[in-house]
Structure 1
Amino acid sequence: MKGNILIIEDEDKIARLLEMELTYEGYTVACASTGREGLNKALSGGFDVILLDIMLPVLSGLEVLRRLRETDKQTSVILLTARGATPDKVSGLDLGANDYMTKPFEIEEVFARIRSCLRNRMTNAAPMKENTELVLEDLTIDPVTREVERGGIQIVLTQKEFELLLYLVQNRNQVLNREQIIQAVWGHDFVGETNVVDVYIRYVRKKMDYPFDRQLIHTYRGVGYCIKESEK
């Protein structure tokens, strides 16, 4: 089998279509029709990817995601959103969703997003060498524990905020355009607006830059972003 997928969707036609197509593709599929049922199944573990509708009875999809991420940071979550629901998309990504799809969607797009999540999961699961801690001036990042400190103060980041900051630090002193950042952080199969990068740069700056005397993240208008060490 290719992987274990949990579908949390209250629209029966959509849930049945996804279950049928994913099963045909070789995935093992489980379904839930309410937020409460979906959360209980998700917390039981064993899933590689969760397809999570935002508009659910009993518990909303965003509440399911919030509670899931309290104990599970690893399982990939793809949100299913209504057209034009931009605030929900941003909130979901900020809570730790890996991706989102806007209804109605093509089944091939579903397959592509799932493949992307599974690839990223395999990459993140690869064993890391010891002493992988990254230091840039007073900023310290531990890719293994995903802990971030600046000036001895712990910085709490969401999953995507952490991955964005890690990518910038790994490519320090290089100006990175939005397309490069999207491919590295959101994956090659990401389908969405490039301004998601600007939104997340703003989130990271608010937590990691603005409270301190010197800003590390620099904007190159019309080009992209760079995290820079001060010149010696």
Structure 2
Amino acid sequence: MRILLIEDDIKTASYVSRGFTEAGHTCDVIDNGQDGLFQATRESYDVMIVDRMLPGLDGLSLVRALRAAGKKTPAIFLTSIGGLDDRVEGLEAGGDDYLVKPFAFSELAARVSALARRPTMQQELTVLMVHDLVVDLLSRRVTRAGQEIDLQPKEFSLLETLMRNEGRVLTRTMLLERVWDYHFDPQTSVVETHISRLRSKIDKPFDTALLHTVRSTGYSIHAPR
């Protein structure tokens, strides 16, 4: 089982991660909300354990953001905030379970195992996210770092295709087939032209490039490495 623990208390993080490691599981530890959100978005985990009071981004906002982005990884809140209203708030934010500190590791392990066994509902993604670039497929709204970006229909389709294949290199032929429905080479620079237009809108106004040209191969979109 692969577990993501987002906890800023060093003693708690060490205690929990050691317990799961000794039980034969992989437990990655992140000590702040912003990095935790990035890690949970980039990687695949069986279960997340999330503290509510985190620096940078609180646990409730973190889980809400993941759910909005279509990530369905089971999440259990592990926190000292234990009132009834607090527990309800955690579950309504998208949490699957809620355990109050102080706690017994055996109970945490049992709850994590139960969540990992629970079948996940496969839902169609409605929001795609790469780094700070967000595409809402329902409203067809594109933003980066909170700034709205206006795209033409083919530019939007091109961006959607790239983001659905984050980190993979898509060749010119693949893009012609998926975006333009061409199953032959039209002998035009339509792909290159739209890539250039897209890059000018989603990359050039910002400090970090997300859209990359892989020489003699194709194009890829991914977060900074």
TM-score band w.r.t. shorter chain: 0.5 to 0.7
Contact 1:32/1:38, CA 8 A, preserved across alignment: yes
1:50 aligned residue (45, 48, 51): 48
Question: What are the ranges of 5 or more consecutive residues in structure 2 without an aligned counterpart?
Answer: 125-225
1:10 aligns with 2:11: no
Q: How far is 1:95 from its partner?
A: 1.7
1:38 aligned residue (36, 39, 50): 36
Q: How far is 1:81 from its partner?
A: 2.1
1:77 counterpart residue number: 75
2:61 aligned residue (60, 63, 81): 63
TM-score, length of structure 2 as denominator length: 0.52
- Give the greater-gyration-radius structure (CA): 2
Superposed CA deviations along residues 174-216 of structure 1, whole A, max 9, x for unmatched, are xxxxxxxxxxxxxxxxxxxxxxxxxxxxxxxxxxxxxxxxxxx
Residues 72/40 of structure 1: CA separation in 2 closer, same or farther (3 Å cut) = same
SS in structure 1 opposite 2:118? helix
Contact 2:66/2:72, CA 8 A, preserved across alignment: no
Residues 11/50 of structure 1: CA separation in 2 closer, same or farther (3 Å cut) = same
Count of residues in correspondence between the two structures? 124
Mapping of 1:52-201 within 5 angstroms? 52-121=50-119, 124=120
CA distance in 1, matches of 2:93, 2:82: 19
**Amino acid across the alignment from 1:114:** V
Kindly report the root-mean-square deviation, in angstroms, between the aligned alpha carbons of the 2 structures: 1.7
Superposed CA deviations along residues 98-156 of structure 1, whole A, max 9, x for unmatched, are 101000000000111011101113xx46xxxxxxxxxxxxxxxxxx659xxxxxxxxxx
Contact 2:5/2:29, CA 8 A, preserved across alignment: yes
TM-score, length of structure 1 as denominator length: 0.51
